[in-house]
Structure 1
Amino acid sequence: MSQTRPELGTPTSYTFPKPRRITVGGGTVVAVDVPGQHLVSLRLVHPFGGAVEPLDAMGVSALTSEVLEDGPGGGSSLAPALERYGAEWVSRVSWDGFITGLDAPAGRLGEAVGLFTDAVRRPALKPDDIVGRRSQLLERFWLEAASAGTLAMRSLGGQLFTGRYATPLAGGPVRLADITPETVAAFHAERIASVAGTLVVVGDLSRVDLVELGKTVFGDAAPAPEREISEPAPPPGELPRVLIVDRPGSVQSALVIAHRAPSRSQVDLPRAEGISEVFGGMFTSRLNLELRERLGYTYGAGSRFDLRRDSGVFFMSTQVEADTTAHSVTSSLEQAAELRDSGVTEEELAAVREANTVGLPVSYSTARSIAGALVDMVVHDLPDDHVDRVRAGYERLTKEALDSAAVEYLHPEEAVVVVVGDAGRLRGPLADTGVGPVEVRTPDELWS
């Protein structure tokens, strides 16, 4: 017997769960209780990412993050120790935050958190472990840079910034090699061990004493100091301009076009990310339709914002055949200029709205995803209802709002173009575009 397919109802607005905030000693616990979610996600946030590293110790936060996995006993002892409690270690560094954490069954959380606290506050930091981790990071840096796309992205900072952002987050091969065990120990003592931070906890918390949890993790550590925010300076030179990172014999080019953007607090997120999606963030974006569908130059092109506490970057990226590189650059810049001049269509507006509202219940269906959103709020000092504000912003988005966003946030006249490919084949055609002066460098020269 056949059945009639039920009709879809109108999607209801998603509401992000309201977190509970508790001050414990020098730190703050930010918690969301999700009944029935028995895998608890715990994240400890310190406000010391790569952006605040001293220039003579670039990469120390990334190296310290790696070394913490050696645990209080040293020698990669942490992961197998946590496995006894069914827990998994988490550690990452961004430009604005140093995040450690674990995912553990609610029933074993207390035991796992004790080991986690020892790993964060009292790690072994054995010199041999630090030197070994440093060698691994250096090897990984060049292995990842074997990807032309990765190399192009890592080359971007020096074209947009002076100071810390000119060198990749992991420190670059030259700076990272100079970091000593003593430097790591000093960074850890000053920025991690002695600073309480903010503890994010998400899961079924019916049997979790959040105050005791905070006391265990924070101990007698001090509150995090306020970070001074100042906009980083740009490097000297004409804009727009082109950098070719030479890879002799390459038959393809990795292409990144980017310019500076406002900081996270200065950006209206639904308008900014909405116009980025129209330009290059969706399969039906302007860039993808032009470079992939119409010209057949690439399998895909994309764009997005990288927003930080003191600045931001907007970039588009793709990979194309070498002989189509110059036209790909001019076509991409033309698409940005046309979007600024003509604005979006009603179909593009509808696609942006739907993409950022309908799927929210799925996006935040796990403890990990909710914890990730809370970490973002902590790192960027966002309000507890940030997700709801952004969702509401997308729901009331208009064509006029996106049109004005294109003018406000897209600046092809200020762009830098980074191309990783065969300079011998690319330099002449790229110079002929008239985009701007062309410089050629080798990968070894980028961060020396």
Structure 2
Amino acid sequence: MLQTRPDLGAPTPYTFPKPRRLTVGGGTVVAIDVPGQAFAAVRLVHHAGGATEPHESMGVAALTNEALEDGVQGNSSLPPALERHGAEWVSRVTWDSFVTGVDAPVNRLRAATALLAEAVRTPALRDEDVLRRRDQILERFWLDASVPSTLATRAVGGQLFTGRYATPLSGAPEALKKVTPQAVRDFHASSIAAAAGTLVVVGDLTGVDLEELGSAVFGDAAAAPAPDRTPPEPAPGELPRVVVLDRPGSVQSALLMAHRAPSRPEVDLPRADGISDVLGGMFTSRLNLELRERLGYTYGAGCRFDLRRDSGVFLISTQVDTQTTAHSLTASLAETERLQREGVTEGELSAVRESNTVGLPVSYSTARSLAGALVEMVVHDLPEDHIDRLRAGFEALTADDLAEAARRYLRPEEMVTVIAGDAASLEGPLSEAGAGPVTVRDPETLWS
């Protein structure tokens, strides 16, 4: 006999676990105990991202980050050493951070963390290993740039900023070729080995001595202050404008529209992300409905904010057929301006609230995702209840809040549009589109 399905109760608001914080030597340990989570995530965070690099060594942070995987013995010795403990190496560089770490069973956490400490504090950094890694990054640079959307994304920094942000995070080929093994060792010694950093630990921490883990990782390294950043100057040139990266014969275009945005500390994130969701962040967004559903130009269109400690970027991206490129550009601008003029509907407001609150228990259901949230808090000096504040901010959003955000954060009149496609077919229609003067560039000369 079938039982009657019970009535659903009101959903319980998600609360982010409260982390434990302790000072160990020159560093800080931030940990979340997740009972029953037998696989732990450990992350070591340094404020030594691409934005802090010397201009004569652009790309050195990314190269150093990759070279650490060669371990204390060189020749990719770290992964097999970790594998003996069922552990995995994790590392990445952003403009604002240098992150290394391991994912490991909690019963092998001490051994895996010891290997992390060795790799970060005393890596071999042999000439042959660093040069091999550098060659791999250079080869990957042009391989990735053969994808039109990647090419456009890498080129947009030079249209928005002067200084370091004008060059891709991994360094441009000509600049990266000049980064020597000694430059890597110097960067590592001054920015990584000498700085304790912050150790993030998430998992079932029953019986785990956090102070012991911190001591093993930090050693006698000193505390390093967060870098003092100066907001970058804008790139010269008329706004708005269009840059075509010529790919002769291409039947499709990668369309990237971008403008400068405020820095991470200056942004009200629920409002900024909310208006981004309405415009292009959800399947039911304005851009997707216009370019995909109504016009049939693309499989998808989206937008997002890329926010850094000292600046930010707002991006709209899609890929379309060559003959629809100019109209896709003007249609995207029209949707942006309409959103600023008319505001949002109640349905859009409800979708923004739900998409940013209902799924939180799933979003933070793993040690990796919880560690990722803690890393973001460390990098951007956010409070421990940052996720709870975000949730509350989204729950409290009003249509007026999002309308104000559209006027404040969206700047179609300052758009720089970068298009990777066939210039011979695009230059005329784009000039007639009225989105600013059109310049054609050879991708091979962008970073020479």
TM-score of the superposed pair, with normalisation by structure 1? 0.99
Q: Provide the rounded CA distance (Å) in 1 between the counterparts of 2:350 and 2:195.
A: 46
Q: Provide the rounded CA distance (Å) in 1 between the counterparts of 2:217 and 2:347.
A: 50
Tell me what 2:145 maps to: 145
Q: 1:69, CA displacement in angstroms? A: 0.3
Tell me what 2:190 maps to: 190
Q: 1:170, CA displacement in angstroms? A: 0.3
Tell me what 2:321 maps to: 321
Q: Provide the rounded CA distance (Å) in 2 between the counterparts of 1:7 and 1:439.
A: 62
Q: Structure 1 regions of 5+ residues with no counterpart?
A: none
Tell me what 2:99 maps to: 99
Q: Provide the rounded CA distance (Å) in 1 between the counterparts of 2:225 and 2:10.
A: 47
Q: Deviations over 1:27-73 (max 9, x none)?
A: 00001111111111000000010011111111000000110000001
How many residue pairs get matched?
448
Q: 1:434, CA displacement in angstroms? A: 1.4
Q: 1:3, CA displacement in angstroms? A: 4.1
1:392 matches 2:398: no
What pairs with 1:209-228 in structure 2 (closer than 5 Å)? 209-228=209-228
Q: Provide the rounded CA distance (Å) in 2 between the counterparts of 1:26 and 1:440.
A: 51
Q: 1:203, CA displacement in angstroms? A: 0.4
Q: Provide the rounded CA distance (Å) in 2 between the counterparts of 1:396 and 1:185.
A: 49
1:252 matches 2:237: no
Q: 1:279, CA displacement in angstroms? A: 0.1
Q: Deviations over 1:283-342 (max 9, x none)?
A: 000000000001000000000000000000001100000000000000000000000000
- Structure 2 SS opposite 1:22: strand
RMSD: 0.8
Q: Provide the rounded CA distance (Å) in 2 between the counterparts of 1:6 and 1:280.
A: 38
- Structure 1 SS opposite 2:220: coil
Q: 1:137, CA displacement in angstroms? A: 0.4
Q: Deviations over 1:99-153 (max 9, x none)?
A: 0000111111111111111111000001000000000001111111111011110
Q: Provide the rounded CA distance (Å) in 2 between the counterparts of 1:46 and 1:240.
A: 37
Q: Provide the rounded CA distance (Å) in 2 between the counterparts of 1:285 and 1:110.
A: 46
Tell me what 1:202 maps to: 202
Q: 1:346, CA displacement in angstroms? A: 0.1
What pairs with 1:256-271 in structure 2 (closer than 5 Å)? 256-271=256-271
State percent identity of aligned pairs: 68
- Structure 2 SS opposite 1:169: coil
Q: Mean Cα displacement is larger for which, 247-256 or 1-10?
A: 1-10
Q: Deviations over 1:324-365 (max 9, x none)?
A: 000000000000000000000000000000001111001001
Q: 1:226, CA displacement in angstroms? A: 3.2
Query: Cα gap change, 1:365/1:433 in structure 2, threshold over 3 Å: closer, same or farther?
Result: same
Q: Provide the rounded CA distance (Å) in 1 between the counterparts of 2:3 and 2:259.
A: 55
1:155 matches 2:155: yes
Q: Provide the rounded CA distance (Å) in 2 between the counterparts of 1:328 and 1:400.
A: 28
TM-score of the superposed pair, with normalisation by structure 2? 0.99
Query: Cα gap change, 1:421/1:18 in structure 2, threshold over 3 Å: closer, same or farther?
Result: same
Q: Provide the rounded CA distance (Å) in 2 between the counterparts of 1:10 and 1:427.
A: 56
Tell me what 2:370 maps to: 370
Tell me what 2:436 maps to: 436
- Structure 2 SS opposite 1:234: coil
Q: Which letter does structure 2 place at the counterpart of 1:338?
A: R
Q: Which letter does structure 2 place at the counterpart of 1:385?
A: D
Q: Provide the rounded CA distance (Å) in 2 between the counterparts of 1:3 and 1:293.
A: 42
1:356 matches 2:356: yes
- Structure 2 SS opposite 1:183: helix
- Structure 2 SS opposite 1:91: strand
Q: Provide the rounded CA distance (Å) in 2 between the counterparts of 1:267 and 1:344.
A: 19
- Structure 2 SS opposite 1:276: helix
Tell me what 1:19 maps to: 19
What pairs with 1:32-51 in structure 2 (closer than 5 Å)? 32-51=32-51
